[in-house]
């Protein structure tokens, strides 16, 4: 019998094998996979889609993970539609669409950045999750609202994976 999983107050979904297979940054193998792929990123990496340069992508990923870590605040900009319909898709196994979303201003890279420094920081930010599985105080997602530790570990994996794929890694 499938387990019922409530992803938001108004949306109850059936937990399937596909959903159980969603990778997250609490899993050592998922962290290691991203770190190995990150090693393939360098100054010559070109975007397969979207407008960001490789240094901007690294900064963008770090900015997002910095928010997750509590380094700074971002005002909640979500609504019922985001919580009810988009949040379950964002946390599920469906890949993010290529170049379809509009980046929130707080996460939008506007300058050029030191690729080596950003790459090292991204490695540290990915590894940070190894120590935080038991943490109970997590920020609200700026679009989806209340998130659990596993929600953050999933979306952090998916977001980083999406952008590494954007640059062919």
> Would you kindly state where each structural domain of the chain is located, as residue ranges?
23-166
Q: Which residue's entry shows tokens 């993010």?
A: 96
Euclidean distance between CA atoms 131 and 17, whole angstroms? 27
The pLDDT of residue 118 is above 90: yes
Residue 15 — pLDDT band, cuts 50, 70, 90? Answer: very low
Residue 123's nearest CA partner among 39, 22, 27, 45 is 39
What is the average pLDDT across 6-20? Answer: 46
What local confidence, expressed as pLDDT, does residue 95 receive? 86
For the ranges 2-16, 21-35, 98-112, 125-139, the lowest mean pLDDT is seen at: 2-16
The pLDDT of residue 39 is above 90: yes
What is the average pLDDT across 1-13? Answer: 44
Q: Please, are residues 74 and 140 in contact by the beta-carbon 8 Å criterion?
A: no
All residues at 6 or more sequence positions from 155 whose CB lies less than 8 Å from its CB, including other chains = 90, 91, 141, 147
Residue 4 — pLDDT band, cuts 50, 70, 90? Answer: very low
What local confidence, expressed as pLDDT, does residue 9 receive? 45
Residue 90's nearest CA partner among 9, 145, 129 is 145
Supply 34's token pair: 């991203």
């Amino acid at each position: 019998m499938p387990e019922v999983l409530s992803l938001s107050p108004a949306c109850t979904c059936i937990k399937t094998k596909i959903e159980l297979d969603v990778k997250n940054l609490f899993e050592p193998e998922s962290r290691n996979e991203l770190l190995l792929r990150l090693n393939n990123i360098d100054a010559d990496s070109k975007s397969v889609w979207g407008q960001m340069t490789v240094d901007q992508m690294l900064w963008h990923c770090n900015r997002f993970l910095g928010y997750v870590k509590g380094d700074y605040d971002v005002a909640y900009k979500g609504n019922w539609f985001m919580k009810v319909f988009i949040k379950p898709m964002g946390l599920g196994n469906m890949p993010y669409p290529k170049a379809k979303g509009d980046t929130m201003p707080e996460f939008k890279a506007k300058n050029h950045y030191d690729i080596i420094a950003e790459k090292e920081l991204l490695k540290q930010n990915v590894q940070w999750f190894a120590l935080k599985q038991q943490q109970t105080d997590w920020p609200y997602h700026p679009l989806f609202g209340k998130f659990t530790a596993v929600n953050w570990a999933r979306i952090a994996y998916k977001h980083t994976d999406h952008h590494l794929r954007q640059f062919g890694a």
